[in-house]
């Protein structure tokens, strides 16, 4: 059976040969300067080294093509890890992500950055014919910003708004791959598992996407990942109201229903996030997962086992737990996944989970008791129960009610930040007027505005006055991100 891991033995073989040659040449790695760390390390989307870098505004830097300015601590860590790098080739299947520019004094290098399917990050020198390989796990400060939105904020979306359509290819692999080690670490709580490794092959998969009617790449949207119980994979129309009102993109995978391997369903959900976050401007604090029946069970496992990816969940008429769940008649339902390890558990406690069911649903008693188990363990789980709800999708209003509760804390945080930024911007205008920055003091104040609420209206206005953004079209407005009352239904 085909799998993303199978065709790529070449790059591993190249590494082995390269490691031998690199030892002979005493290579010290792409990010090391004769035993010292870089004085500057910039991660960009294009090959040109930026001629302007802002110290306090990631938004302003991103508008100039710089996705990260790596701090001194991470520069030292990367330099140390870089000394274990091996010289290699550039396999054809390498996924180009962006560029890294490093310098120390007058010595400077620029590298094209690519990811291989077997977990390596490649550094291809733009000046000299040499390529280095490092383990992705050692390169998180470089990798994470390169996996975000890579498009132009002023360019319209590539698919119609408000319609469920096939997502354009290619699809991107998640950096989280469900191999044996990851299954044990994430899905089994560190214990041995009999679950098979993922067998999905992305070129053969089909994703569906729906952009909300108000989507603009200038303002980050939320993301709703749909886990279907059937083979369809198309996000249901009943979710459209919530997606539009809360400004959320929806995505689902075909042929990923209850008959598919559970590990493939988990993996495809992770791949859908990786694809959507790279292609569209998404607030990664608002990545939610929902599903129905068996898909609801998978959705509860995703938020529990990968809480750094999924920030909330709405499991519909299906809910798994990390402990066996009593049914009240002497029977139990086995645990759907292992209790998350300490770091994931701490993060999971900050997530909201909103199971939806009713007395007419044959999973009702299990979901009630699973909710009790999780809430008693300190998790933020609130059941949305309706007397007339059977084993079906909720109504549009009810799904909006549940998702709004899941999203409320993030919406409130965004609104508070925008209000703070508006006050800072008003202070700038009252002091200097509606004029572009002319000195360092003015620039620092505008940078603070953009850093307080990036990608908000005051953030865009600050970047306009900094000279890195054109005025917004008068038709642009910030899409609604939901209620600001965290306890509101």
**Contact call for residues 46 and 65 (beta carbons, < 8 A):** yes
pLDDT of residue 161: 98
Chain centroid to Cα 302, Å, comes to 13
Please provide the size of the chain in residues.
Answer: 489
Per-residue pLDDT tens digits of the chain, which is 489 residues long: 445 544 444 444 444 344 434 433 344 789 999 889 999 999 999 999 998 999 899 999 999 999 999 999 999 999 999 999 999 999 988 989 999 999 999 999 999 999 988 889 999 999 999 999 999 989 999 999 999 999 999 999 999 999 999 999 999 999 999 999 999 999 999 999 999 999 999 999 999 999 999 999 999 999 999 999 999 999 999 999 999 999 999 999 999 999 999 999 999 999 999 999 999 999 999 999 999 999 999 999 999 999 999 999 999 999 999 999 999 899 999 999 999 999 999 999 999 999 999 999 999 999 999 999 999 999 999 999 999 999 999 999 999 999 999 999 999 999 999 999 999 999 999 999 999 999 999 999 999 999 999 999 999 999 999 999 999 887 666 676 544 443 433
pLDDT of residue 475: 64
- Among residues 251, 351, 239, the alpha carbon closest in space to that of 301 is found at 351
Angstrom distance (rounded) from CA 276 to CA 145: 14
**Contact call for residues 172 and 95 (beta carbons, < 8 A):** yes
Domain with CATH 2.60.40 in the chain: 9-146
The two counts, helices (H) then strands (E), for the chain are 13, 19
**Tokens 């939610």 — which residue?**
288
Provide CATH code, domain 9-146.
2.60.40
**Contact call for residues 41 and 100 (beta carbons, < 8 A):** yes
pLDDT of residue 154: 94
User: Tens digit of pLDDT for each residue in 160-209?
Assistant: 999 999 999 999 999 999 999 999 999 999 999 999 999 999 999 999 99
Question: Judging by beta carbons within 10 Å of its beta carbon (0-12, 13-18, 19+), is residue 71 exposed, middle or buried?
Answer: exposed
Domain with CATH 3.40.50.1820 in the chain: 165-409
Listing DSSP states for 170-185 in one string gives PP---S----HHHIII
Angstrom distance (rounded) from CA 58 to CA 60: 6
Angstrom distance (rounded) from CA 16 to CA 183: 27
> E-assigned strands of 164-216?
165-166, 207-210
Listing DSSP states for 415-477 in one string gives HHHHHHHHHHHHHHHHHH-S----SHHHHHHHHHHHHHSTTSHHHHHHHHHHTSSPPPPTT--
Percent of the chain surpassing pLDDT 70: 91
User: Tens digit of pLDDT for each residue in 282-317?
Assistant: 999 999 999 999 999 999 999 999 999 999 999 999
Whole-Å CA distances, 356 to 385, 400, 485? 6, 12, 20
Count the neighbouring beta carbons within 10 Å of the beta carbon of residue 251: 24
Percent of the chain surpassing pLDDT 90: 87
pLDDT of residue 478: 65
Question: Judging by beta carbons within 10 Å of its beta carbon (0-12, 13-18, 19+), is residue 146 exposed, middle or buried?
Answer: buried
pLDDT of residue 432: 96
pLDDT of residue 29: 87
* Run of H or E including 66: strand 66-69
Q: Rounded to a whole number, what is the distance in angstroms from the first to the last CA of the chain?
A: 47
pLDDT of residue 473: 85
Angstrom distance (rounded) from CA 235 to CA 252: 6
**Contact call for residues 84 and 90 (beta carbons, < 8 A):** no
Domain 165-409 listed as CATH 3.40.50.1820: yes
**Contact call for residues 319 and 366 (beta carbons, < 8 A):** yes
Q: Three-state SS for 381?
A: strand
Whole-Å CA distances, 419 to 422, 426, 448, 457, 480? 5, 11, 13, 10, 14
Angstrom distance (rounded) from CA 94 to CA 275: 16
DSSP-derived letter for residue 36 is B
Question: Judging by beta carbons within 10 Å of its beta carbon (0-12, 13-18, 19+), is residue 255 exposed, middle or buried?
Answer: middle
Q: Three-state SS for 123?
A: strand
pLDDT of residue 93: 84
């Amino acid at each position: 059976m085909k799998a993303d891991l199978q065709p790529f033995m070449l790059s591993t073989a190249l590494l082995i040969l390269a490691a031998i040659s690199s030892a002979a040449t005493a290579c010290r790695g792409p990010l090391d300067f004769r035993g010292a760390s870089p004085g500057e390390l910039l991660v960009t989307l294009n090959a040109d080294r930026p001629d302007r870098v802002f110290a306090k505004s990631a938004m302003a830097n991103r508008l100039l093509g710089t996705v990260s300015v790596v701090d001194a601590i991470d520069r030292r860590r990367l330099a140390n890890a870089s000394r274990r790098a091996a010289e290699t080739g550039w396999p054809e299947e390498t996924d180009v992500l962006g560029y890294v520019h490093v310098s120390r004094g007058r010595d400077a290098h620029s590298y094209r950055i690519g990811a291989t399917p077997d977990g390596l990050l490649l550094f291809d020198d733009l000046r000299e014919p040499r390529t280095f390989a490092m383990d992705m796990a050692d390169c998180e400060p470089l990798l994470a910003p390169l996996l975000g939105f890579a498009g132009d904020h002023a360019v319209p979306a590539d698919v119609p708004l408000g319609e469920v359509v096939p997502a354009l290819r290619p699809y991107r692999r998640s950096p989280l791959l469900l191999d044996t080690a990851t299954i044990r670490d994430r899905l089994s709580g560190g214990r041995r598992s009999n679950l098979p490794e993922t067998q999905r092959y992305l070129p053969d998969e089909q994703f569906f996407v729906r952009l909300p009617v108000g989507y603009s790449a200038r303002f980050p949207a939320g993301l709703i990942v749909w886990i279907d119980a059937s083979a369809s994979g198309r996000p249901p129309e009943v979710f459209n109201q919530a997606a539009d009102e809360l400004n959320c993109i929806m995505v689902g995978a075909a042929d990923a229903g209850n008959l598919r391997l559970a590990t493939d369903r988990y993996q495809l959900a992770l791949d859908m996030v990786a694809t959507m976050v790279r292609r569209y401007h998404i607030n990664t604090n608002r990545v939610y997962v929902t599903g129905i029946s068996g898909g609801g069970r998978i959705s509860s496992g995703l938020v529990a086992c990968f809480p750094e990816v999924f920030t909330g969940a709405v499991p519909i008429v299906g809910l798994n737990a990390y402990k066996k769940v009593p049914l009240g008649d002497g029977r139990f339902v086995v645990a759907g996944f292992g209790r998350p390890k300490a770091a994931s558990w701490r993060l999971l406690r900050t997530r909201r989970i909103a199971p939806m069911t009713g007395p007419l649903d044959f999973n009702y008693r299990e979901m009630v008791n699973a909710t009790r188990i999780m809430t008693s363990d300190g998790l933020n789980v609130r059941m949305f129960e309706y007397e007339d709800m059977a084993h079906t999708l909720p109504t549009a209003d009810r799904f909006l009610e549940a998702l709004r509760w899941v999203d409320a804390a993030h919406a409130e945080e965004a609104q508070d930040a925008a209000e703070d930024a508006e006050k800072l911007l008003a202070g700038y205008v009252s002091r200097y007027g509606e004029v572009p920055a002319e000195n360092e003091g003015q620039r620092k104040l505008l940078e603070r505005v953009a850093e307080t609420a990036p990608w908000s209206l005051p953030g865009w206005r600050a970047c306009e006055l900094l000279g890195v953004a054109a005025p917004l079209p008068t038709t642009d407005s910030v899409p609604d991100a939901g209620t600001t009352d965290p306890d509101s239904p």
